[in-house]
Structure 1
Amino acid sequence: MSYRYDADLVEAVPNFGVFDLTDPQATRAKLKAASAKKPAPDTTGVEVTDREVPGPEDNPQVRVRIYRPAGVTEELPVILNIHGGGFVIGRIEVDDAACLDIARRVGAVVVSVGYRLAPEHPYPAALNDCYAVLEWLAKSAPELGGDAARIAVHGTSAGGGLAAALTLLSRDRGGPEIAFQYLDLPELDDRLDNESMRRFTDTPGWNAPNALRSWRHYLGDAAGGDDVPVYAAPSRTTDFSGLPPAYIAALEFDPMRSEAVAYAESLFAAGVPVELHVFPGAYHLAYLVATARVSKRRVEERIDVLQRALHG
């Protein structure tokens, strides 16, 4: 189909193709090889540390990467970052630049989670890893120079879905309190029955057929059925009460736009403070076109939103 993409994004469309989720291992290898050819991100002003922290019973150690503004002595808010990749192909390194930017400009300790990937590790492995890191963060914030009363979750795409699920899980378990949730282009609903999912079957980088493959890798034969838990697909929850304030970003030509908008409306209806921004003319991977004005707006808004949420 023909879509009215933002003028800054049109030329990049042929560069993206579509991520191949039929062979996750091969796609991971290709993405890793492509990343190796790119220059390392600028770490100026940020201390970056890799470590392993206590995980769930079936994965005793979870890898994390910690980004902390250098030379800062006061307690900082803590942001738990969860990368995207359709639950299948992401890794910590893809979010390096974003995490460095957030740590540097928001003034926060950012902890990025290397959770296990499907299909080798289907639901609830990724969520359990993220929850274990959240519990560790709540206990270890002072060690990191962080403030346990100002923990936010931040995730893009599948990471946004996991961030939303994490707020539900922590609320229902009486776990660590989450002060804010930033859901960026979140993957929330395995049922795939909405307007944007029906329309955007051929958009660059990510489309409805890929969303279907993603959920099937993550949930197996249960995907789309009646027995999927809300912690796997947060859009299925009927109780949005008591969740932290939220910011939700969506893109006009993203197949996951409708579920993001519906999730925001459900939070509104439950009395949860939420800000929703649908960026016009953009498709799911538009944020990789860093020179596009719409991409710059998205980045600047992220910094502003997190600053206001965590520093008052």
Structure 2
Amino acid sequence: MSASRHLVDPELFGLLETFPQLQLSEAILPLMRAAPPRSFSFGDQGASVLSSRRSIAGPAGAPDVSVSVHVPATATTNRGAILHIHGGGYIAGSAEANAPAHRVLAEALDVVVVSVDYRLAPETRFPGAVEDCYVALGWLVANAGEFGVDAARIGIMGESAGGGLAAGLALLVRDRGEFALAFQHLIYPMIDDRTCTHPDPHPYAGEFIWTHQSNIFGWTALLGAAPGGDDVSPYAAAARATDLTRLPPTYIATGALDLFLEENLDYARRLTRAGVPVELHVYPGAFHAFQFATDSALSKTAWLDSQRALERALKP
């Protein structure tokens, strides 16, 4: 019997029927990756946006990193940029799957969107993925002029595991001090491996889409060890960071039924106590990845909230 179905926004029921309930394993992972990618966007497809693929030098001793670049066709020298990091539990997903949404964002906000194809787990363990994202961000900063971008107006964004990588990347950028971020924009971010081992799990969160079992598999794949250990780096699990000062203004959105609800709420609370400006949204009746139900009022609201926050964060 379902513990939380009665709490789900009725307009999201249809989405649940399209998501198979999988027991993730290394055996099923190739089939999961080979399935047609899911994508979502709201509005037009950004017809005036120029899209391309670039290959950039990877971290020392690692392969090159591929990125998708979406640039509004109008010429300028003063637009902002977003480095986007895709979701997929650290084990799946791609930059190209998000291209429709990125083209819409690029056109609507007159912003450059660069999305990075980082190396996936378990083939590549931590810190491979976050280091791939770091070099992609460095490339965007170094080449800002080519795309008409003001290097002082570059932020990072991600959903789920992409939000976790964005949060870890923000810590890495702060600590290395090579460049600065204008903001971090985190959509139901996967930021705490200790959720897998919490002695008192939320009784209603995490029943749908990304479950407790999925979470254990994803974190184990990334870390190469069981989650919840004493030596997990904050660059892998940002909630492990003890110092959250000097991080950029932060947007966090999550669902009231998302497995990551409590880790997201706690991160937002701790950020505010560290003096970081935080905008927090919790959507009632929403489970993980609810925004794929693009016809629902809740998903449309979440998209508009996100877009308006990005617009504010990108202002000169």
Fold conserved between structures, TM > 0.5: yes
CA contact (8 A) 1:82 1:162 kept: yes
* Structure 2 SS opposite 1:86: coil
Gaps of 5+ in 2: none
* Structure 1 SS opposite 2:246: coil
In the alignment, the residues of structure 2 paired with residue 96 and residue 185 of structure 1 have an alpha-carbon distance, to the nearest angstrom, of: 20
CA contact (8 A) 2:33 2:93 kept: yes
| Corresponding residue number in structure 2 for 1:250 | 254
CA contact (8 A) 2:209 2:289 kept: yes
Gaps of 5+ in 1: 36-40
Compute the displacement of 1:264 (Å).
Answer: 0.4
1:54 partner letter: A
| Corresponding residue number in structure 1 for 2:32 | 27
| Corresponding residue number in structure 1 for 2:55 | 52
Query: CA 1:164–1:264 in 2, change beyond 3 Å: closer, same or farther?
Result: same
In the alignment, the residues of structure 2 paired with residue 147 and residue 138 of structure 1 have an alpha-carbon distance, to the nearest angstrom, of: 9
Trace 1:198-277 onto structure 2 (pairs within 5 A). 198-200=202-204, 203-277=207-281
Q: TM-score, normalised by structure 1?
A: 0.93
In the alignment, the residues of structure 2 paired with residue 94 and residue 263 of structure 1 have an alpha-carbon distance, to the nearest angstrom, of: 28
1:130 partner letter: C
Structure 1 residue 132 corresponds to structure 2 residue 135: yes
Of 308, 311, 314, the residue aligned with 1:310 is 314
Compute the displacement of 1:195 (Å).
Answer: 8.8
Trace 1:1-312 onto structure 2 (pairs within 5 A). 1-3=3-5, 4-22=7-25, 23-32=28-37, 42-192=45-195, 193=197, 197-200=201-204, 203-311=207-315
1:163-221 Cα distance to aligned partner (Å, 9 max, x none): 00001001111122001000001000001155995435762221111111100010021
> How many equivalent pairs are there?
306
1:146-170 Cα distance to aligned partner (Å, 9 max, x none): 1110110000000000000001001
Query: CA 1:194–1:175 in 2, change beyond 3 Å: closer, same or farther?
Result: farther
Compute the displacement of 1:62 (Å).
Answer: 0.5
CA contact (8 A) 1:20 1:27 kept: no
Could you say what the CA RMSD is over the residues aligned between the two structures, in angstroms?
A: 1.8
In the alignment, the residues of structure 1 paired with residue 289 and residue 200 of structure 2 have an alpha-carbon distance, to the nearest angstrom, of: 16
1:131 partner letter: Y
Greater than 3 Å deviation, 4+ residue runs:
193-198
1:99-131 Cα distance to aligned partner (Å, 9 max, x none): 112111121100000000000011111001000
Query: CA 1:102–1:197 in 2, change beyond 3 Å: closer, same or farther?
Result: farther
Query: CA 1:101–1:268 in 2, change beyond 3 Å: closer, same or farther?
Result: same
User: Structure 1 vs Structure 2: percent identity of aligned residues?
Assistant: 41
CA contact (8 A) 1:196 1:255 kept: no
CA contact (8 A) 1:222 1:228 kept: no
CA contact (8 A) 1:17 1:204 kept: no
In the alignment, the residues of structure 2 paired with residue 197 and residue 46 of structure 1 have an alpha-carbon distance, to the nearest angstrom, of: 44
* Structure 1 SS opposite 2:224: helix
In the alignment, the residues of structure 2 paired with residue 174 and residue 202 of structure 1 have an alpha-carbon distance, to the nearest angstrom, of: 36
Compute the displacement of 1:17 (Å).
Answer: 2.3
Q: TM-score, normalised by structure 2?
A: 0.92
